[in-house]
Amino acid sequence: MVHTLSILVLVAVFTVATLTPVNMGILAFVAAFLVGTVSGVTLEDVLGYFPGDTFVLVVGITLLFGVAKVNGTIDLVVAASLRLVKGRRWAIVWLMFGLAAVLMSLGSVLAVGMLAPIAMPIAARYRINPLLMGMMLSHGALSTAFSPITVYGAFSSELVSDAGINLSPLLMFVVPFAFNVVIAAVLFLVLGRDLFKGGPDDRVELPGPQEPTGAGGAVGTIAPPRASQAVEVTPMRLLTLTGMLALLVLGAFGLDVGVAAFVVATALLLLAPNGHKSSGEHIAWPAVLLVCGMLSYMAVLQENGTLDLLGDAAVALGSPVLAALLLCLSVAIVSAFGSSIGTLGIALPLAFPLLAGGEIGAVGFIVALGFCSTVVDVSPFSTNGVIVLAQAQVPDKRRFQRQMLGYTGLVVVGAPLLSWAVAILPSSL
């Protein structure tokens, strides 16, 4: 009875959070309290499941990124990068991919939101296929989604560590990055071959701030700098950039990134307290709630045996390799319409029992699930997709949305097959 209730509540949390604007983390916290009580888990124990280290990581990183946004460091990077391409259309596309990758790798969950108001108008001006530009932005951000200092990286590392599995953060980062680069290269070859034929001779300028438009609004977008504004190199911006890059490098070597991010952000705040007054507004509280709530509820399900039950059901399919493929496909389909972190939080515990028999390599399976849960964020139903759709300068938004849906369908089917064939199947032979 307890296991059935736990599963039904989990499905309800995911469904309500997908169909309404209510944060999944809030629902997950309440679910943890209620299901924990029914399961005989004390309130004190449930509160003890709160992932304090993950909380510190996400808040610290997004605070530091808020400082970088407020003091103009992000604008400096974007403006300097755009000047380098000198109007070459093919380079603009890959530049946006790279900028999105860099911003996400440094901890920004709003990488696409920051760049779409710049990239999509540039696509219209330079006659770049808007679908190509929008998807390159998304794949760029998703390629570094599992950086050790991102929400996705922290969340997956917490779950995998609790399961007693040794997974290199570097490997968890590199494999999804490589997969996204491959997909982006294929996409460019299909939609961007004409970009080598040249374009306008005038320089690329940053468009001014735009109002959110389109279906769903540009959720999480941040206005880019105006074209007339010169983004100067200042000591504060250099210090901020140095701190962020150092954090990324040290994170790969096992440094407690959350604590370090707090230290760096606090030092910058103290150096210029009046200039960083709005930095706290950029802390990703919705992401904090989502990650911490889901981890707390997963801990309750682990304690009352629900996750073991679900894992045994997956093993009962008979073939772990086939079960792995079906799980990857299911993750891609569900995540295309819902929360990537929520989907990953459900899928990873289901995967762990499949690894017990040793027929599947743990590293490859976990990496494949992480990739499948995030790469489908190109969907127009995801936050990234909504932002791209809202900022696209196209005559027919409905037609553009259908194009995005068609591309999402290809990714939903192709990504699981790619990751299964490359990361899972070889380890089972």
pLDDT at 180: 96
**Whether pLDDT at 305 is above 60:** yes
Rounded to 5°, angle at Cα 385 from 26 and 365: 70
Is 144 in contact with 184 (CB distance < 8 Å)?
A: no
Q: Which of 2-16, 62-76, 244-258 has the lowest mean pLDDT?
A: 244-258
pLDDT at 198: 59
Q: Residue 205 — pLDDT band, cuts 50, 70, 90?
A: low
**Whether pLDDT at 218 is above 50:** no
**Whether pLDDT at 251 is above 70:** no
User: Quick one: average pLDDT of 325-342?
Assistant: 85
pLDDT at 317: 66
**Whether pLDDT at 401 is above 50:** yes
Is 326 in contact with 76 (CB distance < 8 Å)?
A: no
How far is CA 28 from each of CA 9, 31, 32, 134, 292, rounded to the nearest angstrom?
9, 5, 6, 32, 9
Q: Torsion angle, CA of 222/226/230/236, rounded to 10 degrees?
A: -20
Q: Which of 28-37, 90-99, 308-317 has the lowest mean pLDDT?
A: 308-317
User: Quick one: average pLDDT of 242-254?
Assistant: 75
Output phi, psi for 39, to 5 deg. -85, -5
How far is CA 76 from each of CA 80, 114, 161, 224, 240, rounded to the nearest angstrom?
6, 13, 37, 11, 11
The 10 Å Cβ neighbour count of residue 254 is 9
* CB proximity list for 426: less than 8 A, separation 6 or greater: 361, 364
pLDDT at 97: 95
Q: Residue 357 — pLDDT band, cuts 50, 70, 90?
A: low
How far is CA 260 from each of CA 168, 242, 246, rounded to the nearest angstrom?
20, 13, 10
Highest mean pLDDT among 2-16, 173-187, 340-354: 173-187
**Whether pLDDT at 138 is above 90:** yes
- Predicted structure pTM score: 0.76
Domain regions of the chain by residue span: 2-428
Q: Which of 125-129, 209-213, 411-415 has the lowest mean pLDDT?
A: 209-213
pLDDT at 314: 65
How far is CA 224 from each of CA 69, 79, 186, 243, 382, rounded to the nearest angstrom?
10, 10, 29, 22, 22
Instruction: Please list the alpha-helical segments (H only) found in 196-337.
Output: 235-251, 257-271, 285-303, 306-315, 320-337
